[in-house]
Structure 1
Amino acid sequence: MCGRYALTATPEDILQFLSVIDIEDFPPRYNIAPTQPILVVAASERERPGSNLPERRALLARWGFIPGWVKDARDFPLLINARAETATEKASFRAAMRHRRILIPTSGFYEWRRPPKETGLPSQPYWIRPRRGGLLAFGGLLETYASADGSEVDTAAILTTKANATIRGIHDRMPVVVPQEEFARWLDCKTQEPRMVADLLQPAADDLFEAVPVSDLVNKVANMGPELQKPISLADPVAPPKTLGQMSFF
């Protein structure tokens, strides 16, 4: 799963990376948590000049997906992730997977290695960042929820898939990462049905990320500074996963 991530790039870098129309200025965010507003990118109704591809618009959405058919959001569980393997089948995500796919820019995400309960050891957080730096984009889903009082709020979830070899020793899931060259195809919900973009819902390449152990400061949402990403030394580092050879499913 993905329960915390960061976006510390400048608005100019995000504009260039995602080719969006415009975004407002905003500060670096080192500890983005569920229910908070997050920056997402969706296809616009307008086409780019000289192209049949739609323009891209940036908007803020609540991280916590609420399907349109929910009557009372207070009685509905918080959906921050959607499993890529079943998103086209689940009633909660089926419509968004067909009509409202989005990109979620990120500088990296946090994941926790949770030891067996009988050990009594605390969970160890990791800052998982692109090995070569820069920005990435998670695949996500968008839904505009209208409450009974007539108010509307855009809500979003991050798609997840099986972990690659880098992440597998920490957690068995990871966010779906959409390659930059596939942004247009992923966002094109008019001509690209879910089955046509299913090949993008795969674990990222094993060498895309590096996992850096960090302190438990990230556990508290109130902590929001760059110190959250400062590496620490581990007495018992994560052992690399065993090589499975030709029998590997990854």
Structure 2
Amino acid sequence: MCGRFALTATPDQTAGFLGLAELEGFPARYNIAPTQPVLMAVSGFPQAPGSNLPDRQAILVRWGLIPAWVKDVRAFPLLFNARSEGAAEKASFRAAMRHRRALVPASGFYEWQQASSKEAGGRGQPYWVRPRHGGLVAFAGLIETYAEPGGSEMDTGAILTVHANADIAHIHDRMPVVIHPQDFARWLDCRTLEPRDVADLLCPAQADFFEAIPVSDLVNKVANTGPEIQERGVVGPEPEKVRHQKSGADDSQMTLF
């Protein structure tokens, strides 16, 4: 899955990577979480004659897709990820897979390796997962425009996931789908290409594409938004609690107090 990610590149770097004509300024974001606005790129209007840039535009969407048919948002689950294996058939994502495929630029994402109750105090070890050779990566995204009861519209989105490759499988069994620059045009082409025509892109990243760096549990709190959350660190075990008991008490006996 992908429940947190970061985008720390400059607007110019991001625009150049996505092939955008322009991109408004934005600050580095180190801890992007569901329900927050995220940047996505979609196929837009044709550029002026003579332009060598693709017809793409950037939009901000709420991270958490809401299908158009939802009546009560409060009773609907938060869909920030979509399993790529069934997205083309699933009611929640079918329309977006056909008409509104997008690219989600990122510097990397966070994942948690779950620990047993006997390890690390039962807490998961967070990892910062980034491209091994640096730079940006684009995740496969979906967009759905939701019409609120009051009449206003809100763009919402999700990140597609796939089973993890060997770099990530020891941490989690899912990872975001990576779309490489040579495939941007195919993925975004919803005019002439149907979901079956781009199904081959919904696969794990090749081995050694990512590197996973253990970090401290600062990333666990959405309020922590600085670069320090990406510093290498390990979540240690919680100190063992000291039990106060009378001399000669037997640990094997159950007590009421």
TM over 0.5: yes
Q: How does 1:95-244 map to 2 (within 5 A)?
A: 95-117=95-117, 119=119, 120-233=121-234
CA contact 2:5–2:32 (8 Å) conserved in 1: yes
- Identity in percent: 64
Query: Tell me, what secondary structure is at the counterpart of 1:227?
Result: helix
Q: Is the 8 A contact 2:19 2:53 kept in 1?
A: no
User: What letter matches 1:69 in structure 2?
Assistant: W
Aligned-pair distance for 1:148? 1.1
Q: Name the CA shift for 1:118/1:50 in 2 (closer, same or farther; >3 Å).
A: same
Deviations 1:36-67 (A, max 9, x none): 00000001133563589961000100000000
Match of 1:21 in 2: 21
Change in 2 beyond 3 A, CA 1:50/1:185 = farther
Provide Cα deviations, 1:146-203, integer angstroms capped at 9, x if missing partner.
Answer: 0111011100000000000000000000000001100000000011110110010000
**Contact 1:45 1:54 (C-alpha < 8 Å) held by counterparts:** no
2:114 and 2:189 map into 1 onto residues whose CA distance is: 38
Secondary structure (helix, strand or coil) at the match of 1:45 reads coil
Cα pair 1:62 1:154 within 8 Å, conserved: yes
* Cα RMSD after superposing both structures: 1.8
Map of 2:30 onto structure 1 = 30
Q: TM-score scaled by structure 2?
A: 0.88
TM-score by length of 1: 0.90
C-alpha displacement of 1:121: 2.5
Q: Counterpart in 2 of 1:77?
A: 77
Aligned to 1:10: 10
Name the counterpart of 1:68: 68
Contact 1:138 1:177 survives alignment (8 Å): yes
Partner amino acid, structure 1, of 2:113:
R
Segment drifting more, 106-115 vs 49-58: 49-58
CA, structure 1 residues 52+21, in 2 after alignment: closer, same or farther (shift >3 Å)? Answer: closer
SS of 1:217's partner is helix
Query: How far apart are the structure 2 equivalents of 1:188 and 1:53?
Result: 15
Deviations 1:3-44 (A, max 9, x none): 000000000101111111321100000000000000000011
Q: How many residues align structurally?
A: 236
1:91 & 1:54 partners in 2: Cα distance?
A: 30
Please give the alpha-carbon distance, in whole angstroms, between the structure 2 residues aligned to 1:54 and 1:192.
Answer: 16
Amino acid at match of 2:26: F
* SS at structure 1 position matched to 2:185: helix
Distance in 2 (alpha carbons) for counterparts of 1:22 and 1:144: 23
The aligned counterpart of 1:248 is none
Say if 1:99 and 1:156 are closer, same or farther in 2 by CA, change over 3 A: same
What is aligned with 1:91? 91
Distance apart, 1:73 and its partner CA: 1.2
Gaps of 5+ in 2: 238-257
Mark the CA change 1:233 to 1:117 in structure 2 (over 3 Å): closer, same or farther.
closer
CA contact under 8 A between 2:31 and 2:224: conserved in structure 1?
A: yes
Are 1:41 and 2:41 counterparts?
yes
* Distance change in 2, residues 1:19/1:116 (3 Å): same
Distance in 1 between the 2:193 and 2:49 partners? 21
Partners of 1:82 and 1:49 lie apart in 2 by 37
Secondary structure of 2:79's aligned partner:
coil
